[in-house]
Amino acid sequence: MLCDPAIADAHFDRVRVWEDELWRLSAVLRGPVPGFAHLEPRRHIPHITDLDGAEAATFGPVLARVTRALRDATGAELTYACVFGDHVAHLHVNLAPHRAGDALQGGPGLLAPEAAEAPPQVHAATADAVRRLLGG
């Protein structure tokens, strides 16, 4: 569904608020979070790990620009940016402006209450592996 913007727009009751040759931003017009939006590449890209070329080069600047606009338009303190790709193989960044006292929990509220802490050595090994992969 997300691969066809017209179908996704109708399903999520959203409207296009900005686009360029590579990216589009659509605002959802219902739900508990005013300004909730989807940032998507115009070209089909399954997951964030598949970004390359021009989309990869512009992702950071575009993400910064649209999250700032959502924050400013809603008077929010910040804008959460989340990518969940396990249900739909089409890259979309869920953007949610957040104000104190709104419906968003943030922080540890994103985790299952019964979630156990991962062992410190697993965290350290993961950080080391990422450092090695990035040449740091």
The model's pTM: 0.81
The C-alpha atoms of residue 126 and residue 131 are separated, in whole angstroms, by 9
Per-residue pLDDT of 35-47, as tens digits, reads 999 999 999 999 9
Buried b (16+ CB within 10 A) or exposed e, 94-115: ebbbbbeebebeeeeeeeeeee
Instruction: Show the DSSP H helices in the chain as ranges.
Output: 5-12, 53-74, 120-133
| Residue 76, pLDDT score | 92
Listed by start position, the domains of the chain span 5-110
pLDDT digits (tens, 9 = 90+) for 68-119: 999 999 999 999 999 987 777 889 999 999 988 888 877 767 667 787 888 8
Q: Is 5-110 assigned to CATH 3.30.428.10?
A: yes
For CA atoms 60, 64, 70, 75, give the dihedral sign: positive
pLDDT bin (cut points 50, 70, 90) of residue 2 is low
> Is residue 129's pLDDT more than 80?
yes
